[in-house]
Amino acid sequence: METNEDLKMSLTEHLIELRKRLTNSLIALGIGFLACYAFKDYLFAVITKPLTDALPKSSYLIFTGLTQAFFTYMKIAIFSSLVLTSPFIFYQVWKFIAPALLPEEKKYVAPFVLSSTLLFAGGVLFGYFVVLPPAFEFFVSFNNEYLRAMISFNDYLSLFIKFLLGFGLSFQLPVLVFFLAKLGIVNDKLLSRYRKYAILLMFIAAAILTPSPDALSQILMAIPLLFLYEVSIIVAKFAARKKEAPPQPEEPGAEEEV
């Protein structure tokens, strides 16, 4: 039986492991930040492209404070570093949760890191190429001869980061469901039973996270979430099947001792 001292040591070890993984992630993020800051002007052009393509040719972005441009470039480098170092960060997440897994479950390290990275990158790219352009087209459409947009780049960047991070994290749904199914918290039958409520919640989330109020942008965000939910049902069924232990054959002639 475990004593309170054993439990305390176990908790201490978990905290030490958490500190180690956070430290490793922050070091990687810092190295990526330095590399990305060296290309800040190129990254600026990439990040602003969805908006500048929608703006009239004579328009430009502004900054309203003396230090705002400097800190805005810092935000660009941090966000770019997060995307760049995401495979290593997902690996650190895996290393933290791995001690709680069974030995046969630890072999999923490569699929976990690969799928998490691809899903995160897929979410960011989907938001950048598919959802943001029509959203900004909608906002800029209010320009007329009496009304001209003078957009603060700091405000734009905050919206850009929030939106793309939301997409990247929401695309992690199948990975999250896999581990919840492994822990026995959800299963494919439960997810199928509550599908209609999940669809409602996804459209509500799309309405909140989408920067423009038009229905097209909200549908464009909700469709991949619905697809990922269906994928998550298959993933939950796969995880549950893997969890089931094979039946043990009975030994012939074995009898209970009286």
Per the structure, the complete domain to which residue 196 belongs is given by: 172-243
The answer to whether residue 253 sits within a structural domain is no
The answer to whether residue 214 sits within a structural domain is yes
Residues in the chain: 258
Convert the pLDDT of each residue in 155-198 to its tens digit: 899 889 988 988 898 899 999 898 888 878 888 999 999 999 99
Q: Where among 93, 127, 162 does a domain terminate?
A: 162
Cα 166 from Cα 128, distance rounded (Å): 12
Convert the pLDDT of each residue in 72-101 to its tens digit: 999 999 999 999 999 999 999 988 888 777
Q: Where among 118, 133, 162 does a domain terminate?
A: 162
The pLDDT of residue 244 is 53
Same domain? 20 vs 92: yes
The answer to whether residue 123 sits within a structural domain is yes
Same domain? 146 vs 184: no
Residue 62: beta bridge partners? 152
Same domain? 129 vs 233: no
Cα 70 from Cα 74, distance rounded (Å): 6
Cα 64 from Cα 60, distance rounded (Å): 13
Convert the pLDDT of each residue in 109-161 to its tens digit: 888 889 999 999 999 998 899 888 888 888 888 888 788 888 899 889 988 99
Residue 161 CA to its chain's centroid (Å): 12
**For residue 166, what are its two tokens?**
């939301």
All residues at 6 or more sequence positions from 21 whose CB lies less than 8 Å from its CB, including other chains? 92, 93, 95, 96
Cα 127 from Cα 83, distance rounded (Å): 14
Closest by CA position to 161, among listed 236, 76, 102:
76
